[in-house]
Structure 1
Amino acid sequence: MKFKLNHKSNISLHVQTEELLRKILDDPEYDNGKLLPNEVDLAKQLAISRTTLRQAISKLVYEGLLTRKKGVGTKKASRSVSSKSRNWLSFTQEMEARGIPIKNFELHISWVFPEEPVAGFFGIGTETKVLKMIRLRGTTAGPIVYFISYFHPRIGLSGDEDFKRPLYDILETDYGYRAELSKEEISARAADKFIAEKLEVEVNSPIFFRKRFVYDQADRPIEYNLGYYKADSFTYTLESRRESQ
């Protein structure tokens, strides 16, 4: 496909480039992960500098329309996962509710001595081992979230459960612990080298960090969860209603 800009226009080249990229993304052939034209070739074809092209690409990356991976290329961003603060679900349930197939990239189970924050939340000593589960999850387009979960030993998890099933379904159906309440802390942070490699983003890229404290139907703590989300693949929606006076 041949692309060009109007170099005689009063509209700046980087703005024209942004609009051109948006038109390119409207082409259905880019819906399935096809890479955009190589930066060097596209800049040459448009007769602009790579700096101008990158400025336009960065704008669309910021808007969540493009994803860029070093050494691979730039492609159309897959639709993001949206999580609401009310009627919250497990990651599996969130994805299934949106018709997005899930892919599990990693699953690690171990028994560990909890650090103070985890032990304090569970109300146990640091000498009592808890089940720790690490999961790297996403879609066929790539990883979206890196989870670290700790579970209260009272639940009775063995570590041999089929964790391809929704987590909270396992807790309720197999062990009688219904996840009834979730308290969450959300912040933005830069990806360190470890998380960047897991989520396949560049070091210092923005990510969402969510700390979730989950309680059962008797308000007893059952899960302490840390989630590192790829920022361009996740939207967190808050919903509140004003109470009548």
Structure 2
Amino acid sequence: MRYQRTKEQRMSMKLDPNSEKPLHIQAEEVLRKLIESEEYKNGKLLPNEVLLSEQLNISRNTLRQAINKLVFEGLLVRKKGHGTRAVKKGIVGGVKNWLSFSQEMKMLGIEIKNFELHVSFKKPSEEICTFFKIDPEKGTKCMVLERVRGNKEYPFVSFISYFNPNIPLTGDEDFAQPLYGILENKYNIIVKTSKEEVTARLAGEFIAEKLDIKSSDPILIRKRFVYDVNGTPIEYNIGYYRADSFTYTIEAER
């Protein structure tokens, strides 16, 4: 226990409030080194946020920015009531040559219909602020595009997309056109990389109504984090898919 306190005291000395590098970035770098140590690699919980913020001499909000970034990258996992720990290294599958939803449907020969389309400007959540590197205290709003889409017969996916507030989107764009085509042709933004997470759950009343299914029916949730050719985060997208209409396939080569 004494060794652990000594090590964490040394951690706090690494943050320089006079540095041009923001404190949350410095904290992120310290945490990256910490979770590479053997004890944390083996699943030991990180100190709680109150203790860790005191040891690093930063606010909990600043610490949370650093932790959220590592959670987003899949290096940390946070469980309510249990704490935060390093993710044990395992086999990670990747998907190359990803396609936009419109391209996916075109390849399948499915003609897409928009059942709903809403545009608004909203304050993003803490997770989305971290993704876009937004200071949540500034009250910056993101353009949000919400669409329920499907084939001619029925809707099978509900999308919500948040866009980087640095993109001068007005909300008056023709979103009947392919989204990434709009970004490229109108704003010279070329998307390149997509990181994805796929989970499953029951639909619930809200999504069930949008997808014309029962609240007890299963759905697949596909989070997509989209970056441009320069590695700038462009879109934070969540898709809620009818499980009877969507199969996620991964092809891997060795």
TM-score, normalised to structure 2's length?
0.61
RMSD between aligned residues: 1.2
Q: CA–CA distance in 2 between the matches of 1:193 and 1:154? A: 34
Deviations 1:17-57 (A, max 9, x none): xxxxxxxxxxxxxxxxxxxxxxxxxxxxxxxxxxxxxxxxx
How far did residue 93 of structure 1 move? 1.5
Map 1:145-184 onto structure 2 (within 5 A): 145-184=157-196
Is it true that 1:125 corresponds to 2:128 in the alignment? no
Alpha-carbon distance in structure 2 between the residues aligned to 1:237 and 1:107: 28
> Structure 2: where are the runs of 5+ without partners?
1-93
Partner Cα separation in structure 1 for residue 231 and residue 222 of structure 2: 20
Distance, in Å, in 1 between the alignment partners of 2:246 and 2:188 is 31
Residue 253 of structure 2 is matched in structure 1 by 241
Give the distance between the partners of 1:85 and 1:190, measured in 2 at CA. 26
Shift of 1:176: 1.1
CA contact (8 A) 1:151 1:224 kept: yes
Matching residue of 1:95: 105
**What is the match of residue 193 of structure 1?**
205
Contact 1:147 1:225 in 2 (8 A): yes
- Equivalent positions of 1:32-47 (< 5 A) are none
C-alpha separation in 1, matches of 2:241 and 2:95: 16
Q: What is the 5 A alignment of 1:21-100?
A: 85-100=95-110
| Counterpart residue number, 1:141 | 153
- Secondary structure of the 1:196 match is helix
Say which SS state the counterpart of residue 248 (structure 2) adopts. strand
Q: SS state of the match for residue 234, structure 1?
A: coil
Over the matched positions of the two proteins, sequence identity in percent amounts to: 56
Q: CA deviation at 1:241?
A: 1.2
Distance (Å, rounded) in 2 between the aligned partners of 1:85 and 1:102: 24
Aligned residue for 1:154, secondary structure, equals coil
Give the letter aligned to residue 160 of structure 1: D
Q: Check conservation: 1:85, 1:237, Cα contact below 8 A.
A: no
The reply on whether 1:211 has 2:223 as its aligned counterpart is yes
AA aligned to 1:85 is V
TM-score w.r.t. length of structure 1: 0.63
Q: 1:98 offset after TM fit, Å? A: 1.7
| Structure 2: distance between partners of 1:200 and 1:240 | 34
AA partner of residue 219 (structure 1)? G
Deviations 1:92-150 (A, max 9, x none): 12111221111000000001111101111000123111101100000012001000000
1:105-124 correspondence runs (5 A) = 105-124=115-134
User: Aligned residue for 1:14?
Assistant: none
Question: 1: distance between equivalents of 2:117 and 2:240?
Answer: 15
Give 1:87 shift: 1.7
| Structure 1: gaps (5+ residues) | 1-83
Provide, for residues 148-187 of structure 1, a one-character-per-residue CA deviation record: whole Å limited to 9, x for no partner: 0000011211110000111111111111111100000101
SS of 1:235 mapped into structure 2: coil
Q: How many residues are paired up?
A: 159
Q: Which SS does the other structure have where 1:95 is aligned?
A: helix
Contact 1:137 1:143 in 2 (8 A): yes
What CA distance in whole angstroms lies between the structure 1 residues aligned with 2:127 and 2:167? 19
